[in-house]
Amino acid sequence: MFEELLQAPALSSLLGILAGLLVIHLLYSSWTFQGKHTHPPGPRCLPLLGNLLQVDLSRLDQSLFKLSKRYGPVFTLHLGLKKIVVLAGSKTVRQALINHAEEFGDRETSPLFHDLSRGHGILFSNGDSWKETRRFTLTTLRDFGMGKRLTEQKIIEECHYLTEEFEKHKGNRPHEIHIATYAVFSNVFCPSGKAFDTTMLMSYATSNIISAIMFGKRFDYKDPVLRDMVKNDQDIIHLSGTPCILVYYAFPWLGPWLQDWRDLKKVEKKSRQPALQLINHLKETFNPDICRCLVDAFWKRKLNLEESNTQESAYSDENLVYTVLDLFGAGTDTTSLTLRWSLLFMSKYPQIQDRVQEELSRVVGVRQVQMEDRKNLPYTDAVIHETQRLANVFPMSVNHSTSRDVTFQGYFIEKGTTVLPLLTSVLYDETEWKTPSTFNPSHFLDEEGKFIRRDAFLPFSAGRRACLGEGLARMELFLFFTHLLQHFRFTPAPGISEEEQDLRPVGGATLTPLPHQLCAVIRY
């Protein structure tokens, strides 16, 4: 990366810019520490570089978690010239995002977020347009059955399509051996070549749920439009979490020299094409008297505003495209990742898988699991929640920004300061979880084995910027997981023992499992 910079023809200009920024940084740092307010503490930073050399950019969340143990639950970090206030620990994050929701409720405005959204959509926008887009989206998701029986039926239908795909990779059925017996010899029944990677199948299944709401249809898993949208989404999430992009976040003017930034720009542009294709097709067949999906609801609302001569910036064609892309990404990636982690955990801990399947067999039997069964499946529910906690698929939330000056826990934080709620520190908080670094479903069970809710369980974040699809995601996780565990026993690929299953994540914007394959052995 730096070799490219050294070979650049404008090197002298670049060095001049660096020198100017260094002077500005030194003056700014001197002014900051002379102020009358008490600012959050933090590690001493180098001129220009800040604390970049003191953190691991491949696992920034872990570095910040370690720093919080030294500097406290509210501390300052500098990535280059970018000042960030980090919030760590369950009590601190909840206090900021819930009790001070207005003050900590804005989204950071940065060149990186602008690259991904142009100020549109839900994830990276602010102001009246964001408020109206979020209100419209949440209302429409509920109108189309989020958290209700209608969506439950869509998920159950998708469960059957997913099961059919898993069966194509099936291990041998244990015809005359009792299910409890073959669990001990499970690798015997998964012949070589039958193990498979669950990545794309899980992504296709979860994306079909949000697609049914947005576009009024599901896609065949071989549909090129679906495949393109999922691939583009995966590429954007991967690239946006690379160390190279974090360097760009710290020094935006380096963008043209950074390969990952150039690739991110290309993928972001490419990602709009399949979304536009679907939106334009729906526009051609739009009937204001029939609302088929979220896109139709958007146009109907826009038409009503035009008829009443009302101006509303949220209802632009460009905002629709980015809203669709935001919802598709949010409705696909974290849910599919959590499901992949859940199956990996089951193959790693067969005794826990045994207990889940015993409870399912005892309470539900062979019929289809319904959402109303959850209250009677406390251990299964605890396993799903513990998967979300330990997998920690979205470790750092998306950066917030203070909407006004605020004094928080005795520290003064200026308006417009970037704030990072560190979800890793919440889900791994040693004061809240008995064994934070191990898979332990009892974190969500009382002494009688009943399911208990925990305040420190915040995988969807909290406050004004909490995931608006939480209800949908929770329903998907429960129905997909229970359906798959009803029908299959999951084991490591042949030749790999449970002990050899590696649970270390691949770092980035989201935490993904290392590449692996599993066997899905049909239970009945």
The domain that contains 356 carries what CATH number? 1.10.630.10
Statement to judge: residues 25 and 43 lie in one domain: no
SS3 label, residue 516: coil
Statement to judge: residues 179 and 251 lie in one domain: yes
Q: Which two tokens stand for residue 390?
A: 């330990």
Q: Which helix (H) or strand (E) holds 115?
A: helix 111-117
Domains identified in the chain, total number = 2
Statement to judge: residues 23 and 155 lie in one domain: no
Statement to judge: residues 133 and 6 lie in one domain: no
Question: What letters, b where the CB count within 10 A reaches 16 and e where it falls short, cover 318-336?
Answer: ebbbbbbbbbbbbbbbbbb
Relative to beta strand 411-413, strand 505-506 is unpaired
Statement to judge: residues 71 and 8 lie in one domain: no
Q: Which residues of the chain, if any, have pLDDT below 50?
A: 1-12, 14-15, 19, 23, 26-34, 172-189, 191-193
Range of the domain at 32: 1-36
Evaluated on CA atoms 116, 119, 120, 125, the torsion sign reads: positive
Statement to judge: residues 58 and 24 lie in one domain: no
The reported pLDDT for the residue numbered 112 is: 87
The reported pLDDT for the residue numbered 67 is: 97
What is the Cα–Cα distance from 117 to 492, expressed in whole angstroms? 40
Nearest to 213 by CA among 133, 161, 138, 284: 138
Statement to judge: residues 389 and 504 lie in one domain: yes
Reported as half-sphere exposure (CB side, CA atoms, 13 A), residue 501 has a value of 22
DSSP character at residue 189: G
Statement to judge: residues 339 and 404 lie in one domain: yes
Q: Which two tokens stand for residue 416?
A: 């417009």
What is the Cα–Cα distance from 228 to 499, expressed in whole angstroms? 36
Statement to judge: residues 4 and 32 lie in one domain: yes
Other CB atoms within a 10 A radius of the CB of residue 101 amount to: 15
Nearest to 432 by CA among 452, 408, 409, 460: 452
Beta strands in 90-162 (DSSP E): 106-107
Statement to judge: residues 14 and 63 lie in one domain: no
Nearest to 340 by CA among 205, 150, 172: 205
**Chain centre to alpha carbon of residue 314:** 24
What is the Cα–Cα distance from 486 to 361, expressed in whole angstroms? 8
The reported pLDDT for the residue numbered 51 is: 94
Q: Which pTM value belongs to this model? A: 0.89
- Terminus-to-terminus CA distance in the chain, angstroms? 54
The reported pLDDT for the residue numbered 36 is: 62
Statement to judge: residues 404 and 280 lie in one domain: yes
Q: Which two tokens stand for residue 478?
A: 């429960």
**Chain centre to alpha carbon of residue 470:** 11
Statement to judge: residues 30 and 43 lie in one domain: no
The reported pLDDT for the residue numbered 3 is: 41
Mean pLDDT, the chain, as a whole number?
Answer: 88
The reported pLDDT for the residue numbered 119 is: 86
